[in-house]
Amino acid sequence: MAHLCLFSLLVLSLVLETQALNPTHHLTITDVARLQAVLSQPFTDLKSAYYSVVGLSKLGIFVADADETCRFIKSNLDPSSVESLFYAAEASQALSGCEVKYFFTLLFVLITGCMSVTDVLCQPLSSASVLAESASAVSSKSAVLSQAPFTLREYVDNFIWKYFLCLKDCPLFHSGVFELNFMASQPASGYYQFSVAIAGDSRFVANHVELKVKVSTRVAINNMDLSVVDKDQSTGPKTTRVEYPTKAKASFMADGHQNFAVTFQLVDETTGVELTPHQTFVRLHNQKTGQEVVFVAEPDSKNLYKFELDTAERKTEFDSISGTYALYLMVGDATLENPILWNVADVVLKFLEEEVPGTIQAKTLYVPKPEIQHLFREPEKKPPTVVSNTFTALVLSPFLLLLILWFKLGANISNFTLSPSTILFHIGHAATLGLMYVYWTHLNMFQTLKYLAIIGSLTFLAGNRMLAQKAVKRYSNCFKPILPLLSFASTRMESIFRLSKSLTLPYLMHYVPFIHYIENKVIDFRCSYSTFFIV
């Protein structure tokens, strides 16, 4: 009985161990078979090999040819690529008996605002050197630093430590940090482009990086002056200076005969250097109706911002609504730590044409527009029927005169033949004339040219054939009287060629052949006769 219990415990332990070794998942047998078919396809690169090997291992399926797969991984590995090293390392771990060996230490660079150069164990490398090759302002392209080295610090304060939260996974992280105090050069606010290089070993990975650094600052408003100026300059301007962030105690009043002006400067709060932020606006808000009008304040050549309001010219933007407007100054920029919205003063504006509604009605933009009725030019009046008929008769009068003369004198059509070329030529000629008529009544220029190309080609070929036939007929009629003479001459020439072998040269003087040779090729053969008869 004791042996039976011991055997049962042994079988149970083996079953549990087998179950523990097999991976569990929620895929059906069909899904596993489909995934296995996809993952068992031939490899195209190291990435596909990684997904196939690791995927099959997750499903609990062994790779069919592990040795061949291991050789493929080793042959396609690129030691200079971090991505290639990752795929090779993960795939080799999933394969049994596949080891990828390297005889050097892999180095990585981690950059998070400050820069840390470590090995794979996150330990600092004192032999490495970090150099800022260049640092230039993005806006002006002017160089600020050149070949500035980083210094290695052996401690990290709490302010810098918050930028290295991503290193929590490194249990052996050391506190050495490469540091460059860029603010020691007192750069102006804005964006700067850094080119950083890590030297010390040719096996470094990612040893050259480009960084974009933003230098922010705080803006201050100086010399804020508000004034009301008469257009006719009969009296001097009344100027009031307001200090940020207080509001002017008294209100300012301007009507159609006066201008309201604002001048101020924007400077760096730390260095006192003049600034020109991207967004500088002056906003006027009607406290009664809620209407807002925004203007852009622009600096002059001395970076002094000026804004002048002419109530007579700007009344349309205010809808000629008089009242008390709150004057706000808005300053903003991506490099400013303290964007400004300042209620500077209250301004009372009076317009000549005052149309004050109870409340400002919101303009409805998304409504159907009124239909536009297009009015085309009316066609010109046609001439009277008598004029058009008279013009038609004058155009047809030459043709009518031709028909009358033919009937009176008689038309000679003896040379007209009924050959196909002659008939086709005359039909094509008539079709061309008919096409001209259809062009004036129905067709446009492009349609007419298309049809004319077809009709004209057929007419040209038929006319050429017809004229050739007439020329042959004319020449045959000219040579009829001398045909017997040509026949006699041909007979005498045959007699001469028969006797040419027995006759000597003096007897053939009346037959002179002229043969022209060019590049040893006969190109012409002509015979001239001094007489037609040989006695």
Annotate 457-468 with DSSP letters as a single string. Answer: HHHHHHHHHHHH
The CA distance from 221 to 58, in Å, is: 65
pLDDT at 20: 42
- Nearest Cα neighbor of 527 from 512, 510, 506 is 512
The CA distance from 274 to 278, in Å, is: 13
The CA distance from 534 to 519, in Å, is: 36
* C-alpha 386, offset from chain centre: 64
- Nearest Cα neighbor of 75 from 105, 45, 42, 41 is 45
Burial of 100 (0-12, 13-18, 19+ CB in 10 A): middle
DSSP secondary-structure letter at 297?
-
Tell me the two tokens of residue 418: 């009924």
Tell me the two tokens of residue 76: 């396609």
Question: Residue 53: in which H helix or E strand, if any?
Answer: helix 46-58
In this predicted structure, the answer to whether residue 527 has a pLDDT above a threshold of 50 is: no
Average pLDDT for residues 68-85, to the nearest whole number?
81
DSSP secondary-structure letter at 168?
G
Residue 294: φ, ψ to 5°: -115, 135
Tell me the two tokens of residue 483: 């045909």
- Identify residue 352 by its one-letter amino acid code: L
**Model confidence pLDDT, tens digit, residues 459-482:** 999 999 988 888 887 777 665 565
What does pTM read for this prediction? 0.41
Tell me the two tokens of residue 383: 């001439």
Tell me the two tokens of residue 407: 């009937």
The CA distance from 39 to 25, in Å, is: 17
Which strand ranges, in their side-by-side order, compose the sheet holding 151-153? 107-112, 114-119, 177-179, 151-153
Percent of the chain with pLDDT over 90: 14
- Range among 66-75, 462-471, 500-509 rated most confident: 462-471
Tell me the two tokens of residue 312: 């007579």
- Range among 65-69, 405-409, 424-428, 530-534 rated most confident: 424-428
The CA distance from 253 to 227, in Å, is: 10
- What residue has token string 């159907």? 368
Which strand ranges, in their side-by-side order, compose the sheet holding 292-296? 252-254, 340-349, 323-332, 279-286, 292-296
Handedness of CA 357, 363, 369, 372 (dihedral sign): positive
pLDDT at 30: 78
Burial of 520 (0-12, 13-18, 19+ CB in 10 A): exposed
Q: Comparing 534 with 10, which gets the higher pLDDT? A: 10
DSSP secondary-structure letter at 204?
B
Among 177-186, 218-227, 289-298, 370-379, whose mean pLDDT is lowest? 177-186
What structural domains does the chain harbor?
22-94 (no CATH), 113-157+165-215 (no CATH), 219-349 (2.60.40), 483-529 (no CATH)
- Range among 160-164, 311-315, 462-466 rated most confident: 462-466
Neighbours of 59 (CB within 10 A): 15
Return contacts of 492-497, CB within 8 angstroms, 24+ apart: 492/532, 492/533, 492/534, 496/534
**Model confidence pLDDT, tens digit, residues 87-138:** 888 888 888 778 776 544 443 333 334 455 566 556 656 567 787 888 888 8
SS3 187: coil
